[in-house]
Structure 1
């Protein structure tokens, strides 16, 4: 069964990485609040792919959205 692009955009993939515009529809936070949570270690860390491209690991985003209050970023 083929899925339209609109149908596929309704879910966040489990694997891979996503940029803010791809995760914004799933986030109860503004971009700035999410950035503050990342800095505090209470949201998944951002990965700089280039000077103007930042992305987040989808697996960590799923973990965060499942329980945002108790989420803590894993330290390396």
Structure 2
């Protein structure tokens, strides 16, 4: 028998920190592919790559995006 953990997902997305797609998905009003397209177009928060297989998003930027997805603009740091 496999050893399984009964994990209860968070009811809200934390304000601070970083999240991966699996943590964001319950709160996203779109599918992963649409979110990826918006990221690529610069209309959604840009990912931060920690390694070849580990990408995460800033929770603060995600909250801004989810509050107003149509008017969200990526902030360009100088």
When normalised by structure 1's length, the TM-score is 0.88
Q: How many residues align?
A: 71
Question: Quick check: which has more Rg, 1 or 2?
Answer: 2
Aligned to 2:70: 69
Within 5 Å, give how 1:54-65 maps onto structure 2. 54-65=55-66
Q: Which has the higher helix share?
A: 1
Once the two structures are superposed, residues 11-42 of structure 1 have per-residue CA deviations (whole angstroms, 9 ceiling, x without a partner) of 00000000000000000111111011001111
Unaligned runs of 5+ in 1: none
Q: What TM-score, normalized by structure 2, do the two folds share?
A: 0.86
In structure 2, distance between residues paired with 1:72 and 1:35: 15
What is the CA–CA distance in structure 1 between the aligned matches of 2:66 and 2:75, rounded to whole Å?
Answer: 15
For structure 2, list consecutive stretches of 5 or more residues without a partner in the other structure. Answer: 1-6
Is the strand fraction higher in 1 or 2? 1
